Homo-oligomer: A and B are copies of this chain.
């Protein structure tokens, strides 16, 4: 058995005395060796959040049995919960348009196996990146989006997501607005990178907006997509300094590096089960 294999339990429930005791006593009683543990109690929502990484081989049983045995505790505390297995890779469906810096960055991290994901396929509204993607042995689907055929195009996107058994849809600088049918079909499962420090400069051409306002830092935001444009729960953000000598093209260039970094970090947190939703905010156990 893989000595590094881990089961990750992530849960949230109404806060009260005894949650940690119940979960840790359950795990200890089955010899579960906790490798990493994180807790958070949100004072506003009065909810409790927990994530535990357990060494798989320390347990006396397998994952289905773990789920079966834990279910009564989860029911007792009213938990939203899931257990994932580090031996099973997270399947990502990548959407891109013409800008390829985030695509290149994620494909590199996939080749280097920096964290546990596979790129199931790439979907684009352009043909231009086919060669680079297919060099990696990854399927590439060109789904054009025109105003009149937008509903059909996004039905095809959802069909491909199903066909490739995607876990998460990642918008790596995909320059089309997803219609509500897609947003609502995959709640908490669509990750976007927006090229501004939200809530500043939502919508189109954020670097032009930033240049016009004369800000001294620009940023990027990785967030879950909801039907409300650029207003979903934020997973990760970062900023970089610019100055009066930088034109819009310079902002775009600096921005690319921040976008790549923020998307890669945000996606890793998501894939590793470190992100829990708390209404329109996130708990991120880094």
Whether the pair B24, A214 counts as a contact (CB closer than 8 A) is no
Say yes or no: is A104 at the interface (Cβ < 8 Å to chain B). Answer: yes
Q: Which chain B positions have C-beta within 8 A of A101?
A: 108, 112
Max chain B C-beta neighbours (<10 A), residue from A18, A264, A286? A18
Considering the complex, give the chain B residue whose CB is closest to the CB of A275: B244
If over half of A's interface residues share one DSSP class (helix, strand or loop), that class is named, otherwise mixed; here it is mixed
Q: Which chain B positions have C-beta within 8 A of A244?
A: 40, 42, 278, 281-284
Whether the pair A214, B234 counts as a contact (CB closer than 8 A) is yes
A residues within 8 Å of B by Cβ? 17-18, 20-22, 24-25, 27-29, 31-37, 39-43, 58, 100-101, 104-105, 108, 112, 114, 135, 197-201, 213-217, 219, 233-239, 243-245, 247, 253, 257, 261, 264, 278, 280-284, 286
Whether the pair A28, B17 counts as a contact (CB closer than 8 A) is yes
Whether the pair B243, A217 counts as a contact (CB closer than 8 A) is no
- Cα A24 to Cα B21 with chains together (Å): 5
Please give 12 more A-B residue pairs, beta carbons under 8 A apart, in addition to A198-B213, A239-B239, A244-B281.
Answer: A20-B34, A21-B25, A197-B197, A198-B200, A199-B200, A199-B213, A216-B235, A216-B284, A217-B239, A244-B283, A244-B284, A257-B264
User: Can you offer 11 A-B residue contacts whose CB atoms are under 8 A?
Assistant: A17-B32, A18-B28, A42-B244, A101-B112, A104-B104, A104-B108, A197-B217, A199-B213, A215-B237, A216-B284, A243-B286
Q: Which chain B positions have C-beta within 8 A of A43?
A: 247
Whether the pair A39, B37 counts as a contact (CB closer than 8 A) is yes
| Minimal beta-carbon separation of A229 from chain B (angstroms) | 15
Q: Which chain B positions have C-beta within 8 A of A28?
A: 17-18, 20-22
Q: Which chain B positions have C-beta within 8 A of A233?
A: 214
**7 closest cross-chain pairs (CB), A and B:** A214-B281, A21-B28, A21-B24, A20-B24, A18-B28, A216-B237, A244-B283
